[in-house]
Amino acid sequence: MYVTDRFAFVELHKTGGTHVTTLLSELVPGTQVGRHNRPSDALLASGRKFLGSIRNPWDWYVSLWAYGCSRKGALYERLTRPVTLQRVDWRRGVHGDFAGRLVRSLTGTRAWKRCYADVNDPGAFRDWMHRIADPEWVEHLGEGYSASGLSDRLGFMSHRYMRLYLRSSVPPGSVSGGTLDGLVEWCARQEFVDYWIRNESLEDDLVKALRLAGTPLTDAQVEHLRNAPRTNVSFRGRKRISHHDAATLRLVNEREALIITRFGYEPRTAESAPGEAGAGSNGTYGAAP
């Protein structure tokens, strides 16, 4: 989170946040306060404007996986780290719990490492995608996802978005009405973000957000912002190919219906052109893959 006198930028993982923070540090005096962290109640009540970052979920998952292929990231560390004594739930019984979890962890760790073996292997990415959505492995993802009560209906990206950008906790079904539209509307009301920066239009959105937040920019600053090379790119120096197939596209369409609808992305199929954006679809949320 980058905090200035007038605004704070709160970054969601793998949405261009490092690049935005680098640009902001060159344009506006401020302080880096953690990474991917939610503002405190005091900061939320400070009168500052808030900028948030978002990205289409299909590319988001590819980027998150590719970052792990570089042996980086908290998710990679959790998924490829074997179970330890500290991670055992002793209340469930020492011997049975530890033995069972040890076997599952060792088996799972090897499988996760295979998924991260080659950033240019679309098959490895697709295996990873299906494991990410598999209830058997949801506990391994951490970050309170398995305990959220929504892991069977919403994807990991939606979980991170809700934990980072909403003022309130995950709503009970009675709040959202159990429908996708109800959940989207509830989330929109609970968001503290004033201006969104989309990865797909990052430079234009950042210029607009800064000006709306009361930060004047010279023509030279705008030109620098638009021409600065992206930072922390997961595929730098590597061959970039299409990693999704019809099954993983459908998986993201179902699991990330909240993100797709809230931010107006168009659900993708194998026939649709990459990068399309438009109105999201409505309906019920909770369809398991």
- pLDDT tens for 154-194 read 999 999 999 999 998 666 665 656 788 888 999 999 999 99
Q: How long, in residues, is the chain? A: 289
The model's pTM is 0.83
Q: What is the pLDDT of residue 173?
A: 60
Q: Is the alpha carbon torsion for 123, 155, 200, 68 positive or negative?
A: negative
Count of beta carbons in the 10 Å neighbourhood of residue 227: 8
Element containing residue 58 per DSSP (H, E): helix 57-69
Q: Note whether residue 82 is domain-resident.
A: no
Domain that holds residue 8: 2-55+180-227
Q: Note whether residue 62 is domain-resident.
A: no
Which of 104, 98, 73, 103 lies closest to 86 in space, CA to CA?
A: 98
Q: Note whether residue 120 is domain-resident.
A: no
3-state secondary structure of 14: coil
Structural domain total, the chain: 1
C-alpha dihedral, 152 to 162 to 246 to 105, nearest 10° = -50
Taking the CA atoms of the chain, what radius of gyration do you get in angstroms?
Answer: 20
Burial string for 84-123 (b: 16+ CB within 10 Å, else e) reads: eeeebeeeeeeeeebeebeeebeebbeebeebbeebebee
Structure tokens at 12: 């969601």
DSSP 235: T
Q: Are 45 and 19 in contact (CB under 8 A)?
A: no
Could you report the per-residue pLDDT of 106-135, keeping only the tens digit for each? 567 889 999 999 999 999 999 999 999 998
Q: Note whether residue 22 is domain-resident.
A: yes
**At which residue do the structure tokens 């709160």 appear?**
10
**CATH code of the domain in which 48 resides:** 3.40.50
Mean pLDDT of 217-234: 83
Q: Which residue type, as a one-letter code, is found at position 56?
A: N
Structure tokens at 18: 């490092």
Q: Note whether residue 194 is domain-resident.
A: yes
Could you report the per-residue pLDDT of 17-67, keeping only the tens digit for each? 999 999 999 999 999 999 899 999 999 999 999 999 999 999 999 999 999
Q: Note whether residue 68 is domain-resident.
A: no
Q: Note whether residue 247 is domain-resident.
A: no
Q: What is the mean pLDDT of the chain?
A: 83
Burial string for 269-288 (b: 16+ CB within 10 Å, else e) reads: eeeeeeeeeeebeeeebbee
Q: Helices 219-227 and 202-212, interaxial angle, to 10°? A: 150
Q: Note whether residue 45 is domain-resident.
A: yes
Enumerate the β-bridge partners of residue 7: 49
Mean pLDDT of 211-228: 90
Dihedral pair phi/psi, residue 10, rounded to 5°: -110, 120
Could you report the per-residue pLDDT of 275-287, keeping only the tens digit for each? 433 333 333 333 3
Q: Which residue has the higher pLDDT, 118 or 104?
A: 118
Q: What is the pLDDT of residue 166?
A: 95
